[in-house]
Amino acid sequence: MGHYDFSIEGMTCGDCASEIKTSLESLDDDVRADISFSTRSAHVDTDNVTKDQLQDAIEAKGFQVNDARLPAKDTDGRSESDDSDGLQIVIVGSGSGAFAAAIRAADEGATVTLVESGTLGGTCVNVGCVPSKIMIRAAQLVQHQQSSPFAGIQPLQAIVSRAEMVNQQQSLVEALRAAKYQNVLESNAAVTLLRGRAHFVDANSLSVIDETGNEIILRPDRILLATGASPSIPAINGLEVTPYWTSTEALVAEELPERLVVIGGSVVALELAQAFQRLGSQVTLLARSTLLSKEDPELGKGLLDILVSEGMEVRQHTLPDSVDYLNNEFVINADGDKIYADKLLVATGRSPNTPDLNLEASGVITDDRGAIIINNRMQTNQPHIYAAGDCTAQPQYVYVAAAAGTRAAVNMTGGDATLNLGTMPAVVFTDPQVATVGLSEAQAEAQGIDTESRVLGLDNVPRALVNFETRGFIKLVIERQTSRLLGAQILAGEAGEIIQTAALAIHNRMDIDDLANQLFPYLTMVEGLKLCAQTFRKDVSQLSCCAG
């Protein structure tokens, strides 16, 4: 089938895109047209209609075609990179987004080449979700061993061998990488791994320098960029010449520092700071703003109190002026004070891995952070180039990257799939956990929505009471006029397990009475959602157990 890409001027709204699509698909039954208003582009698949006929149909509607092109062809009609008659796709990266795309594209009949210069599997399995959650869970067990809320249980001083922990952790990391990435790759004949570093030569060509130094030129029909992100390092005087940690080094460190300073106030900083504190380090956390500053303020305030109660020193609105490393000791200068530490962990966010791609040669547009700009079909301003995951401005979660990769593959192979992040749940794996979905009050009101909210302390949740763990709350936000649920913010020991129920309720446009009237099993934490919903209509402290 012929594949045609057009750059179009003159579209002023989504209706223009629909008009062009209708015009093109009316030419012949085999025409399939994907029109993007956001990128002012068209991609058309057809065997029966010529490029000129397609261009004429677009211009007949009053739009201007700036560029109409086919992938470069050799003498027998195939793309220069083709070894077969199928669609050729190159994916740069090998993380969750890349693999999800590769598997789906192969299922749709495409031939896929994965280009990877580093460790197979990307961030999550290697240096992110998997090792961090192992460490966090181990630290939680240490905390439970040393501090129990139950009478009659004597606390025990935990003996922690960080080296043994890391050995077990990395064994599982390696096993999962083999099972979920290497074995999947080897079992799929349509997907090939090319070891090397890729960059654009032009919009249609990638140069890959392989492990031997040889250059390979690829000219596929479609390209997916899924290169992920790397730790972002703030501009602090002296920091760059010190042996600071990022999360990558911290997760495999085989010794626990006696004194650890953590710079950052969001997800990675909070998770690792609490884990190290519980494992035996004395942690000082320096946050440029407040904790979880992008979330509902009550979440950060509640978590702050908990971290301080566990012995952590937390300094908000603090960013070091300079850092020195003298005699194997860090000296952090902040607000006129000197803070001394054995190790320094910098966890101030992650930046897209795009600088080495030579995107200027491709014409692909990025934002001021270097994140690739895409539409809801994962398509860049170049219609045949797609991007997914942390190298874009999408939320940096593995499940978002995987979902985006799958949808990109659908679209690259002629389908039409979009990604709606309106009900995306998010979890911070501190203890208690922080979980959110939908809109906060501030976000809703910024959109002009009149809201109402309720906050239910966990001392009103039976399961929390019998756990003797009532730190935290559940907050629900609704649209005042319709009572429709808009968002949930939760600080609770099992917030990550609760939040998906709230996400489904928002996705299905339930109002607060729908939620309050659902059956929830008694003595579960998720029952707190029902109880919080009931507070919009009644005083739950005056209800009996299981009151429906």
Q: What is the DSSP string of 232-243?
A: -----BTGGGS-
Do the beta carbons of residue 469 and residue 457 sit within 8 Å?
Answer: no
Does pLDDT of 237 surpass 80?
A: yes
Report the number of secondary-structure helices (H) and strands (E) in the chain: 17, 25
The answer, yes or no, to whether the previous bond of 432 is cis (omega within 30 of 0) is yes
**44, HSE (Cβ side, Cα atoms, 13 Å):** 35
CATH architecture of 239-347: 3-Layer(bba) Sandwich (3.50)
Do the beta carbons of residue 196 and residue 343 sit within 8 Å?
Answer: no
pLDDT of residue 547: 57
347 CB burial (10 A radius; 0-12, 13-18, 19+): buried
pLDDT mean over 480-496: 97
Q: Which CATH homologous superfamily contains domain 88-122+171-231+351-412?
A: FAD/NAD(P)-binding domain (3.50.50.60)
Other residues' Cβ atoms within 10 Å of the Cβ of residue 212: 7
* pLDDT tens digits, 16-51: 777 898 899 899 888 988 886 555 778 888 988 988
pLDDT of residue 37: 57
446 CB burial (10 A radius; 0-12, 13-18, 19+): exposed
* pLDDT tens digits, 87-140: 999 999 999 999 999 999 999 999 999 999 999 999 999 999 999 999 999 999
Does pLDDT of 493 surpass 90?
A: yes
The dihedral over CA atoms of 501, 502, 505, 506, expressed in degrees to the nearest 10, equals -140
User: Which class would CATH give 426-538?
Assistant: alpha beta
pLDDT mean over 469-498: 97
Decide which of 491 and 85 is more confident. 491
| Site of tokens 């997914």 | 388
pLDDT of residue 277: 98
Decide which of 384 and 36 is more confident. 384
Distance of CA 88 to the CA centre of its chain: 27
Radius of gyration in angstroms for the set of CA atoms belonging to the chain, rounded to a whole number: 26
pLDDT of residue 75: 29
| Site of tokens 């005083």 | 539
Give the single-character DSSP code of 116: E
Instruction: Report in angstroms the alpha-carbon separations of 479 from 234, 357, 486, 534, 540.
Output: 39, 44, 7, 15, 21
pLDDT mean over 284-298: 97
pLDDT of residue 14: 58
The dihedral over CA atoms of 83, 85, 87, 90, expressed in degrees to the nearest 10, equals 0
Task: Tell me if residue 185 falls in helix, strand or coil.
Answer: helix
In CATH terms, 2-69 corresponds, of 1.10.10.410, 3.30.70.100, 3.40.50.970, 3.30.70.1350, to: 3.30.70.100
435/265 Cα distance (integer angstroms): 16
Domains 88-122+171-231+351-412 and 239-347 share a fold: yes
For 324, phi then psi, to 5°, come to -120, 155
Domain boundaries defined on the chain: 2-69, 88-122+171-231+351-412, 239-347, 426-538
Q: Which residues pair with 200 in a beta bridge?
A: 206
For 7, phi then psi, to 5°, come to -105, 130
Does pLDDT of 1 surpass 80?
A: no
Give the single-character DSSP code of 13: S
As a whole-number percent, the residues of the chain with pLDDT over 90 amount to 82
215/357 Cα distance (integer angstroms): 15
Beta-strand pair 282-286/259-263:
parallel
| Site of tokens 């219609």 | 383
Does pLDDT of 270 surpass 90?
A: yes
Which of 239, 275, 248 lies closest to 260 in space, CA to CA? 275
Other residues' Cβ atoms within 10 Å of the Cβ of residue 299: 25
